[in-house]
Amino acid sequence: MATWLRTRLLLSYLAVVGVGLLTLFLATLALGPTLFDRVMGGMMGSGMMGGAMGGMMRQMYPNADLDQMFMQMMIPHHEDAISMANTALQQSQHPEIKTLAQAIVAAQTAEIQEMRGYLRTWYGIR
């Protein structure tokens, strides 16, 4: 497997893991402090570290609008996926990968437009 493809696959995996953690963070924060502390505590280990991490995150984002934060973090993630898909379109040797890359570009471009529309309509962010 080509080095660039291995690197792209690793970056894709890391991006998915990052989005998964972000989604978990946003969901638990939205559901309340008790669940947030339990989940963050479980992720960071038991004892003081877990409780400290949960408290720190709530202090960092006490009034966070979770919808806004989610979209503002997802847009760059989608843009990176589009960039990677465009590279695959140019360099892939397999037509199946090119088909997949085209689908990724189309879907994520539409999702970016949708999220930007929400940010503009709901928050006045251009």
pLDDT per residue rounded down to tens, the chain (126 residues):
566 565 566 556 556 555 665 655 555 555 555 544 554 454 444 444 445 544 555 566 677 788 888 899 899 999 999 999 999 999 999 999 999 999 999 999 999 999 999 999 999 998
69 lies in the same domain as 9? yes
91 lies in the same domain as 115? yes
2 lies in the same domain as 59? no
108 lies in the same domain as 86? yes
Q: By the 8 A CB rule, do 107 and 115 touch?
A: no
52 lies in the same domain as 111? no
9 lies in the same domain as 44? no
Query: Which of 63, 84, 115 represents a domain boundary (last residue)?
Result: 63
49 lies in the same domain as 81? no
Question: Range of 113's domain?
Answer: 1-29+65-126
75 lies in the same domain as 121? yes
Q: With 0-12 CB in 10 A as exposed, 13-18 as middle and 19+ as buried, what is 35?
A: middle
Please state at what angle helix 48-60 crosses helix 33-44, rounded to 10 degrees.
130
118 lies in the same domain as 69? yes
106 lies in the same domain as 123? yes
User: What is the number of domains present in the chain?
Assistant: 2
44 lies in the same domain as 93? no
Regarding pTM above 0.75, the answer is no
5 lies in the same domain as 43? no
What confidence score (pLDDT) does residue 39 get? 47
Query: 60 — alpha (psi -120 to 50), left (phi > 0) or beta?
Result: alpha
* Neighbouring C-alpha atoms within 13 Å toward the C-beta of 51: 3
